[in-house]
Each structure stands twice: as C-alpha cells, then as structure tokens.
C-alpha cells in the first residue's frame, strides 16, 4: 500500500499513517507540499494521501481546507494523533548551547512558551523531521529542532527535552484522501462544503436542516470565497452517511438553499480521544 504525506521521514503525518495502517506492507511517499499529496492521490499514483486538517491547540490548517475545495479526491477516513514535541539536537550538544530552534510553523506555535523560556530564535521550515535532517546534514551544533521522538531516532539525534508543547492535550486530526469512496461502516462521518446567498438568515436556515432532523454537527469552518469579498465557503462535518436517510434528505434541502454544495465523502469516524 502506498500512502503519501507532506514532510520527511519521521514527520508526524508519517507517524499518523503508521498509527492507522500499521507499518507492515505500507510504503510511505514523502512530499514537499500538501498540494503534492493531493495531486498524487487524485491521479492514483498512491493509494492514499494523509493530510493534517486541524490541531487542538493552533486550530485549522487552512491550506488543506482550500485544497479540498478544488480536489477530485474523496475523503475516506480520519486519524487523530497525540502530538508529543521533542527538542532534538546533535549528539553531545546541551540545551545551553542552543541559539536557534527550527521547525514547522505549527510546531513552533504549539511550543511558544517553551521557546520563549529559552530566549532563542525560532526559525520556520517546511517540516519538523526535515528540520532534524537539516541540522544533522549541516552539523549545526548551536541549533535544535522541534520534532517527534521517532524523527530523532531515524536520524540518530539526541532528545534534549520531551513534551515541550504548551498544552499536554495536543492532538492533530488528519484526513485520509483517495480517488475512491470509503467502505461503509457502522459509525461514519460526512464532510461537505457549501456556500450561501449573502442574505439575512441564510446560514441559520441552512444549519436548521440538520437540527430539525437531529443530525449532530461535529465541525464548521469558514473560508473566504476569494471571488467575492466578505463571502465564504462553509466546511461542515456531521455524523452519519450522506447516502442514508435522514442525511440525504438534509443535503437535498441544503442544496435548494445553497449556491454551491460539494460532498467530500462519508468515512469511518476516528476513535474518540481518551
């Protein structure tokens, strides 16, 4: 099974892949960008792509939301991964030697308090594990990376500190995308995108179609349309399969009210966070 992700080996997205699919018979494909993951999944060069969608501390990954609007790939699953950040450096380096910390912007933001306490410079890179790899390749003895324990192990680096995130309950939700539909299961979730006329009560009335049918909404996010200032696309997740009643009926009524409606897919719900 081939699964694409954004980042280098040891990235949290790759960790999410292994936590969901297992490590046996899975071939991971590192990509420079989230867009590349979508492209590979759309054309079937990989069986699946795994992309981050939101973090419990820093919120939504807007690039993923924007790409969902135009992709032909389907959402076929979700993964919730506990994120444990480590301060990673070359062997023999102590925390007193560190002057710069490299990592992905999300990781730096999730460890803002720890970085401030050290009084060092924070420098953004495209990936957590990629930062570890760069420090090793360049032999930067005054620098450290924020990355996973697995990344430190892969690149033979030392962990100077562990669990450095500002909040202990730090989770990232990932979506699994594919060119094929998900298989039906008992507990499913559906993701959709829609836009509405810019008139009073349009969102209230649209969401009312779900409320009157007792459908549980689990997430709503808005993103600018970019074509019309101050108008938005709404990304909505709800429990249930869009092919079953009453979910099908709610979507039919929503379509009557919406300017645009796209069903991204129905897929198995991830296990709840302990």
Catalytic hit among 38, 174, 235, 238: 174
Active site residue 174: yes
Task: Evaluate whether 33 touches 49 at the Cβ level (below 8 Å).
Answer: no
Which residue(s) pair with 115 in the sheet?
A: none
The side-by-side arrangement of strands in the sheet containing 121-124 is 121-124, 100-103, 143-147, 86-89, 158-162
Per-residue burial over 95-132, b = 16 or more CB atoms within 10 Å of its CB, e = otherwise: eeebeebbbbebbbbbbeebbeebebebeebebbbbbb
Active site residue 114: no
Q: Report helix, strand or coil for 115.
A: helix
Catalytic hit among 29, 64, 125, 172: 172
Q: Which residue has the tokens 């999410």?
A: 16
Active centre residues (catalytic): 172, 174
């Amino acid at each position: 099974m081939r699964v694409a992700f954004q980042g280098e080996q040891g990235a949290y997205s790759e960790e999410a892949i292994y936590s969901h699919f297992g490590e046996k018979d899975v071939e991971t494909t590192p990509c420079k960008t989230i867009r590349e993951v979508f492209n590979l999944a759309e054309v079937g060069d990989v069986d699946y792509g795994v992309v981050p969608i939101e973090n419990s501390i820093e919120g939504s990954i807007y690039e993923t939301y924007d790409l969902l609007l135009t992709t032909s790939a389907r959402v076929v699953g979700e993964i919730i991964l506990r994120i444990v950040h480590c301060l990673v450096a070359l062997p023999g380096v102590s925390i007193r030697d560190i002057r710069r910390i490299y990592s992905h912007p999300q990781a730096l933001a999730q460890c803002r308090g720890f970085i401030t306490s050290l009084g060092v410079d924070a420098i953004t890179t495209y990936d957590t594990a990629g930062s570890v790899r760069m420090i090793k390749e360049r032999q930067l003895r005054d620098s450290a990376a924020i990355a996973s324990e697995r990344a430190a192990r892969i690149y033979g680096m030392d962990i100077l500190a562990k669990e450095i995130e500002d909040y202990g309950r730090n989770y990232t939700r990932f979506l699994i995308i594919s060119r094929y539909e998900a298989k039906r299961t008992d507990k499913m979730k559906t993701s959709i995108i829609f836009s509405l006329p810019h008139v009073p009560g349009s969102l209230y009335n649209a969401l009312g179609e779900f409320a009157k049918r007792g459908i549980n909404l689990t997430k709503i996010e808005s993103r600018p349309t970019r074509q019309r200032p101050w108008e938005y696309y709404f990304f909505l997740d709800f429990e249930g399969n869009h092919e079953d009643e009453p979910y099908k009926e709610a979507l039919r009524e929503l379509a009557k009210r919406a300017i645009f409606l796209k069903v991204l897919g129905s897929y198995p719900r991830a296990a709840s966070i302990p």
